[in-house]
Each structure stands twice: as structure tokens, then as C-alpha cells.
Amino acid sequence: MSSLFSKTITLGKELKVSDAEFAQLRDFIYQQCGIYVADNRKYLLENRLANRLKHLNLKNFAEYYYYLQYDAGRKEELNRLFEVITTNETSFYRNPPQLQVFQDQILSDVLQALRKSGQRKLRIWSAGCSTGEEPYTMAMIIAEVLKTELASWDVRITANDLSERVLESARRGVYNEYTLRTTPKEILARYFDKQDMFYNVRPELKKLILFHQINLSDMTQVKRVERSQIIFCRNVIIYFDDDMKKKVIGSFYDNLLPGGYLIIGHSESLHNISRAFKPIHYPGAIIYKKEE
Amino acid sequence: MQECKSIIERLRIDDNEVLREAAFEAGEARCEEAVPLLAGLLQSSNLGVQEAADRALRSIGGRSVIQAAIPLLRVDDAPARNLAMDILRALAAQDVASLIPLIRDTDPDIRIFAADILGATDNPAAVPVLCEALLKDPEVNVRYQAAVSLGALARPEAAPCLNKAMEDEEWVQYSVIEALSKIKQSSSVGALVKAMSHTSDLVTSMIIDALGEMGNVKAVPMLLKRLEESPTALRNKIVKAVVRILGGKSLQLLSPDERENLKVYMLVALEDEDLEVQDAAIQGLAFAGGERASEAVLKIASRLDADQDQERLQQIVRALAQIGLTSALRSGLLSDNPDEARVAVLSLAIVDDPSVPQVLIDAFWKHSRDLQRLIIETLSKVAGPSSKAFFLDVLDRHEDGKVLKSAAYVLGQKLHLEDAADKLFALLEHKYDDVKEAGLEACIAIGGPHVNARFQEFYASAEPMKRLMAVYAFGRMGLAEHWESLKKALHDEVPDIRKVALEAIAGMCWESDAWLPLLEDRLRDESRDVRLTAIDLMGRCYGREVIPFLLTALDDEDDWVKVRALDALGAHQEREAVPRVVPLLQHANRLVVIKAVEALGNIGGTSAFRALLDISTSEDEPELQQAVEASIAKVQEAHEGE
């Protein structure tokens, strides 16, 4: 209730992050998750964290740094910090041209090759899945393509995010109309159950996806992800500095099976990050392929 | 060494995954013996392996990598050659001597590559050899590349050879001009001007840009002389160059005729497709002024995207404000185009003219909510008492939170208008907290018996939020008058109200007889936030009498209460506290330990010093280590000063 007051005696006039505090927090965040908070996001960080400081009754950002290091509630607070620094903006069927290429070209090529080799085992990794819209979209596309054949396939989408809170929401699989605004009506009817104002993902779709927390900057965690034919990592590497981008993209390369595909955000590029992939240009999308 | 041996063995295995991993490891281990094998892997057909070898070589660096990469410049495999080029560019500064002979190679391609790589050395030794190549090499592409690299090195001693090279063919002139504009040597102005008598339109245009870039005043008379005889595109470039060189303000130093002439051309330049030309013209017109300029600049601004063109828009707004309150700005404010109206408001906000508030008030109700927000926010900065009727009207008629907040600020904090109090009190029941807070601050700023009576009603309310606001207001409006109410509020059932009451009585802290017993009670409060506030206030209003309470707080069950007490005792260098602080160096929570260390460092003295020396820290606790070192240094420094 006292959060009504933006200025109080004990909280000081305004919660401003000093350059030294910002550098300390930035390094801490980088160590924890590999996300590099650029200087131009200093005020964004300050604004977004000010409420956390008020809530925790901390006087300045140096105390917040200590809180993150030593307080009994640090683990929970770290998750909140992760939520603050990532935007988690997503929706179903985001960027349709890219998904069309995924459905018509990439997925069909991969499925065909698997059929030919007699291995009906498809593995997809959705790295940075936020609240689940992306992996569920993948699952729906796969179900649409395989139709009745789906039951005879071993399909698994590994979906990770840094924030446990968004993963909880992803596991629940309950969405509102806004996030489903770009979802075709027939898809909505086939894969969701409507309950009041909300839409619940059907269990048969949920079972294709394994959600768990991963810190992409932690190479030992990343190495434990099962090797995949396709990796989606859209609008995630924008948070990393060049070194971390190189590391993360390198680990995607190592995870992909020969001939596998990497799909990044449509405004992102691997220019100056990696030369190991072959970029394939499709109308509306560039997809990166690992050689056979 | 052993590690390198195993890496090298794996670098010989014909398996791409093994090779990639081994190459990365070679880089991480800086394994110089692996360099020949890694250089060979740059020619691997597997891109993943190539990439790993590339990274490893860059990370190892040094003479051996440069020596291994040079032969790859001669291979037919283009990707490998390109990788070698990139590596050499990145590492060039580490061994310039090995690279210099390549610029005299018999193969012209190698000479081009060498000229390119030498540009990345950041080494003055590369200048004479590049100059020699620029002036003497028979191959035009080598000369071109030599000029590019001299520009990259940007060293003044390269200017004479570049000036001379302006006599070369056009292809070389391009890179020479660019290099000269980076070096910015005064001697080059003459060479560039002289060259203009015989260069093509394209090169002339480049020279004009370069002169603008170099910013040398010597070029201005010549550029102005060419204004009349030049076609529009070149003329616009000249306008840009002159404004760049002189800056807007110094345009006043031109003769009246020159200035008037330039103003006409600046208006024409506003229509140029090149944004830099437009911006220079805007910058110049901001000083030249006039209705036509204001109208034309406003039109440009109204076509910009507020998000994408933010910086440019800000510059234009400043230019419009500098031109002043013109008819163009007035009609722009009333425009149906919200973007144009928005720019007009932003400009009026910084125009220095007493009629601006009324102009904005007249436009307010004609616009949609977003513009109204902007107008009233601007008015809250520029309006005075004569605008009070407008703001009262806004409180009556408007429903938007942001608009109401601006009105509340003006009526309360700026005008202290008692007549507005009841209307402002209505805001305290608004659905949004920020509007409530704005209303509350405005009411407090007005003060007086009527406001006081209204807050008394709030204080007696069953609604916690109203009581909270009243307690907050009492603290701000005069403690003596509300002392009894605030004392009672310290026992309110709602912890937040107790906390705000504590803050409210902080102003009485110098009367410790009255103040301390109240705080003492709250040190036993069940709410940790209330206890924290009490300790914090004691630290701010420090005196002998608070010390026992702070010492007791060191035993509080909540670690942050301990931290606040440590901060207070440390800040006031309370030697008496040392025996109670020292045991906290063994506390399980490292935060408490660090804070105890800092407190001891601030307090100083022999006991504190001894205790700090006795702390054992390990390398995996850098924060603690750093705190201990800093505190020891602090105690020593204080001791030396005594």
C-alpha cells in the first residue's frame, strides 16, 4: 500500500542506478545468464527494477546486488530479475512467412529424409520459448503435416527458457484471445478447448513438448539437450553480446544433427557471428543449415 | 604442454566433430604448436571445422599465426584466402615487419591484399610503404587500396602523398578524397580545391563533402564562390559543407548579401533527397529564421516517424523553437495532422515567448487525448497564474489520468490555489495510484485549514488507504499540529500506516525525549519493514541516545535490520560498537559479514583493525576479500591521518 508513494524518506528521493552500480549489476547478469545489458538500456533496467527495490525495502541498487548474492530469497529474486531483463513478447504463429518456410520446406525435407532412413524420430529444440507459444505452434504444424501418421512417430520438442515463471505458464498451456490473434480458426478448434474467456491446449499436443529451464550461457546445461534436427531460437540472441552470441550459436551448431536447420528471428542474422552454417534464402525467411 | 599434445593428436583425426572440438580447445589453450594444423584446417570443406580453426588462430595470435596465414593468401581456395585475409587484418598489428615486404610482391593480387592488411596495423611504419605504393605501383587497384588504407591509418604524415595522388585517375581519386577527409590536414584543402578545376561532377561532389567533413574555414570563400555556377545537386552539397564548416551560429559572420543568398539556397536544399543535406539546411535556417523556413521545416518534421527518427526530430524541434513563434507554428498547432501538431507543441515548449501558454490553451480542447496530454504537460512547465481557470476547467471536464496529474501539479505545487482543494481531493479517490499521489501532493502543497480538516476526515476513516494518505499528509504539513494523531498512527493495525507514521515523525528527531520512545516501541514491531524503517531513521538522526537501540538491532532476527544498524554505526564511526560488531564477522549470511567488515573499516581503531586482520577469506569470495582489503586500507589511512 505504501507503494502509493513514489518518494519516501527511507527510500530516498528517487531510485537511480549509479554508473558503478549499473556496471556491477550488468556484470552479475552477464555472469548469471550471458545477457549483456547495453548502456542504452540502463534507464530501462532502472525503471523496471525500481519497483522490486521498493518491494524489498532496499535503499539502492548496491543493496539489490547484495540481495541477489546473499539473501535467502535470492533464487526467487534472480528469476524475477530474468523476467525484467527479457521482454517475453510472443504470440502463436509469429512471423507467418518464416513458419510457412518451416512447414513447406524444412519440416517436409527433414521428415522425408527420416522416412527414407527408416527412423521416425523427430527432435526440435525451441530455445527461448517464453510462455510456450512457439513450441505449441511447432507442435500444431507438425500435427497438421503428419496428420494420422503422427501416432507412429516419436516426436519431441524440447522447449527452454531462462525464466521459470514463464515456463510455468507454458506448461499450463492456457491462453487468451490476444495471443491467439494470428492463429487460424480451424487450428484453434482442433487443438484448443475453450473455457470461458480462455483457450486450453489439448493434452495430446502438450505431450509432444518437454519444458524445462535452461541458461543458454551455461554450456554444460546446453550440452545436455538432446541433439535435434531443427532448432528455433528467435529473438533471443539479441540479448547477448558478440562473444556470447558466438558461444550460443556454436553450441546450436554442435547440437544439430548433420544437415540440421537453425531458425533465428527474421530480423536477426549470423553475420559476424558464425560462418559454419550455410544460409538458405527463401521468400520471407533465411534459414541456416548445417552441412550433411 | 601435455594438453597441446593431446589436442594436436586429435587435430589429425579425420572426423569433423572431433576436429571442431579440438580446434576450439587449441584456441582456448593458446596452443601455438597447433598453428600449422589449424592453418591447414582453414581449407577444410566442413564449415564448422573452418570456423573453429579460424577462431582458434585468432585467439592464439602472434607471429606464428601471421606466418602461417600469409601463404594462404596465394591459394586458389577463395574461402580459405578470405579467412586468411580476415585473420591477418585482425592480427596485423602483432607483426607488421612480416607484412611489409608483401607490398612489393610480384603478384599484383598479393600487393592489393598487403595494402589492405597494412591499413589495419595502426602502425606509422606502414605509412611510407603505402605512400610508395600509392604513387608508384603500376596496378591501379593497388594504388586505390593504398589510399583506402592510408585513410584507415589516418596519420597526418600521409597527407603530402595523398595530395599528390589527386593527380591520379578518377578511380584512385575517390579513395584519396575519402582518406584526406579522415586525416583533416589543412594543407589538403588547397590540393582539393585546386583539383576541382579539372575533376568530374562526381569527384567534385565528393570533394565538397570532404571539405565539409574536414571543417576547415579556409574552404568557405571558395565554396561560396561556386554556389551560383553549380547545378542544384552540387549547390545543395555546398550548402551542407558551408553549414558544417561554420556551424549555424557563425553563419552570422557572413556578409548580409552572402547570408541572404545562402538562405535562399538553404530553402531549396530542404527539398534535397539526402537527409544530411536537409539537416544542414535546417541547422542553417534555425539561425537565418523567417516564416518560410518555419513552415518548410515543420512540414519535414510532420512526415517523420516519432520512434524511428527520434534524434532527427529533436534537432528539428530545436531549430523550429529557435526560429520562434511564427504563424506557421501557430497553424501547425491547430493542424488536423496530429504529427504536425505534435511537433508544433514540442517546439512551442521551448520557444521563449510570453504568449505561448495562451496559444497552447486555445488549442487544447481541439485535440485528441494524446495531444492533450502533451499540451498540458508543456503548460505545466510554462503556464502561470493567469491560466488557473483553464486548469480548473480541466479538472472538471477531463477523465484522463495523465491530464489530471498535470492539472493537479499546476493548481497545487505551482499555484497553491485554495479554491482548487476540493476538486483535488476528489482525485484522492481516483482508481489509479499515480493520480491519487498527484492529488495528494497537490493538496499538501496547498495546505491551510480547509485542507487540514479534509485530511482529518480521512484520518478518521475506516478505509486504510485514506488513513495512510492522511498520515503521510500530516507528516508533511506540520508535525506539531498533528503530533498526537501521528503517535496514534504508530499503532495502526496496518503495518504500512505504521511505517509511514514513523517516517512522518522523523522531522521531530531532534527532540529525542519525545521521539525516541516512539521509535523504541517500533523496534519490537512484528513487521520487519517497520523495524527496518525505525533503524534507518535512527541512523539518519544519530545521537548518543540511539546507540543502545542500534546495538540491540544487531541481534534482530532479520538480517536486513542488522545491515541497517551496521550501516548506521559505521557511518557514525561508533567505536563503542566494535565489540558487538566483531562477532558478526562469523555470521552465516555473507551479506552481514561484508556489512560488518565495512562498518569496522568506517569505525577504525586498533580493535577494528585487529579483527579485520583476523578474517580469513578465500579466493572464491571476491566480494568479501575486496571489502576486507578496502576496510583495512581505510583504517590505516585514518590512522596515518590522526
Q: How far A268 CA sits from the closest chain B CA (Å)?
A: 18
* CA–CA gap between residue B631 and residue B612 (Å, rounded): 8
For chain B, percent of residues with pLDDT exceeding 70: 99
CB-nearest to B437 from A6, A66, A72 is A6
End-to-end CA distance of chain A: 61
Residue of B303, B374, B300, B305 whose CA lies nearest to B333:
B374
Q: Which residues touch B188 (CB under 8 Å, ≥6 apart)?
A: B159, B162, B163, B180, B214
Chain B residues touching residue A59 (CB < 8 angstroms): 536
**Cβ-count burial A78-103 (b if 16+ within 10 Å, e if not):** bbbbbbbbbeeebbbbbbeebbbbbb
Region B446-459: what's the mean pLDDT?
Answer: 95
Question: What is the four-CA torsion angle of B479, B481, B483, B489, rounded to 10 degrees?
Answer: -100
Single-letter code of the amino acid located at B423: K
Domain presence at residue B593:
yes
Which one of B21, B43, B47, B497 would you mutate to disrupt binding with A, by most A Cβ within 10 Å of its Cβ?
B47
Domain presence at residue B622:
yes
Region B207-220: what's the mean pLDDT?
Answer: 91
Chain B residues touching residue A62 (CB < 8 angstroms): none
Helices B108-118 and B126-136: crossing angle in degrees, nearest 10, is 140
Region A61-68: what's the mean pLDDT?
Answer: 93
Domain presence at residue B625:
yes
Cell triple for A123: 527432435
Helices (H) and strands (E) in chain B, counts: 40, 0
**Per-residue model confidence as pLDDT tens digits over B554-582:** 999 999 999 999 999 999 999 999 999 99
* CA–CA gap between residue A218 and residue B474 (Å, rounded): 53
Triad B110, B115, B118: Cα angle to 5°: 120
Region B593-617: what's the mean pLDDT?
Answer: 91
Q: Is the pLDDT assigned to residue A12 strictly greater than 50?
A: no
CB-nearest to A278 from B47, B55, B436 is B47
Chain A residues touching residue B563 (CB < 8 angstroms): 63
Q: Across all residues in chain A, what is the average pLDDT? A: 89
Question: What is the four-CA torsion angle of B367, B369, B372, B377, rounded to 10 degrees?
Answer: -170
Q: How far A276 CA sits from the closest chain B CA (Å)?
A: 4
Q: Cβ of B494 and A1 within 8 Å?
A: yes
CB-nearest to A275 from B50, B533, B589 is B50
Residue B171 CB: number of other CB atoms within 10 A?
12
Cell triple for A165: 515463471
Domain presence at residue B246:
no
Burial group, residue B492, by CB count within 10 angstroms (0-12, 13-18, 19+): middle
Domain presence at residue B629:
yes
Residue of A97, A21, A20 whose CA lies nearest to A263:
A97
Q: Which secondary-structure segment (H or E) carries B629?
A: helix B622-641
Q: Across all residues in chain B, what is the average pLDDT? A: 92
Provide the number of structural domains found in chain B.
1
pLDDT for position B490: 94
* CA–CA gap between residue B109 and residue B53 (Å, rounded): 25
Domain presence at residue B232:
no
> What is the DSSP secondary structure assignment for residue A37, as one 8-state letter?
-
* CA–CA gap between residue B392 and residue B424 (Å, rounded): 10
Domain presence at residue B627:
yes
Split at pLDDT 50, 70, 90, the class of A11 is very low
Q: Which residue of B has its CA nearest to A66?
A: B591
Chain A residues touching residue B486 (CB < 8 angstroms): none
pTM of this structure:
0.69
Q: Which residues touch B158 (CB under 8 Å, ≥6 apart)?
A: B127, B130, B131, B150, B179, B183
* CA–CA gap between residue A108 and residue A146 (Å, rounded): 10
* CA–CA gap between residue B503 and residue B67 (Å, rounded): 71
Q: Which secondary-structure segment (H or E) carries A136?
A: helix A133-146
Whether the CB-CB separation of A180 and A199 falls below 8 Å is answered with yes
Give the B-side interface with A, CB within 8 Å: 17, 20, 24, 46-48, 50-52, 54-55, 433-434, 436-437, 464-465, 468-469, 472, 494, 496-497, 499-500, 503, 506, 528-529, 532-533, 536-537, 540, 559-560, 563, 589-591, 594, 623
CB-nearest to A276 from B51, B436, B560 is B51
Size of interface A-B (CB pairs under 8 A): 76
What domains are there in chain A, each with its CATH number? Answer: 2-85 (1.10.155.10), 96-289 (3.40.50.150)
Single-letter code of the amino acid located at B102: L
For chain A, percent of residues with pLDDT exceeding 70: 94
Q: Is the pLDDT assigned to residue A140 strictly greater than 90?
A: yes
Say whether B430 sits in a helix, a strand or coil.
Answer: coil
CATH number assigned to the domain comprising residue B581: 1.25.10.10
Residue of B541, B539, B519, B540 whose CA lies nearest to B530:
B519
Q: Is the pLDDT assigned to residue B326 strictly greater than 70?
A: yes
**Per-residue model confidence as pLDDT tens digits over A84-128:** 887 766 788 888 899 999 999 999 999 999 999 999 999 999 999
**Per-residue model confidence as pLDDT tens digits over A162-204:** 888 889 999 999 998 888 888 888 999 999 999 888 899 999 9
Strands (E), chain A: 121-127, 154-161, 174-175, 192-195, 198-201, 209-213, 228-233, 256-264, 278-282, 285-289
Chain B residues touching residue A66 (CB < 8 angstroms): 591, 594
Range of the domain at B589: 573-642
Phi, psi of A25 (to 5 degrees): -65, -40
Phi, psi of A228 (to 5 degrees): -125, 165
Q: Cβ of A291 and B560 within 8 Å?
A: no
End-to-end CA distance of chain B: 54
Strand-pair category, A121-127 with A228-233: parallel
Domain presence at residue B606:
yes
**Cβ-count burial B40-74 (b if 16+ within 10 Å, e if not):** ebbbbebbbbbbbbbbbbeebbeebbbebbbebbe
Alpha carbon B359 to its chain centroid, in Å, reads: 34
Helices B275-288 and B310-323: crossing angle in degrees, nearest 10, is 20
Whether the CB-CB separation of B539 and B568 falls below 8 Å is answered with yes
Strand-pair category, A209-213 with A154-161: parallel
CB-nearest to B536 from A4, A10, A69 is A10
Hey, is the C-beta of A77 within 8 angstroms of any chain B C-beta? no
Q: Which residues touch A52 (CB under 8 Å, ≥6 apart)?
A: A64, A77, A80, A81, A84
Which region among A68-77, A143-152, B324-333, B508-517 has the lowest average model confidence (pLDDT)? B508-517
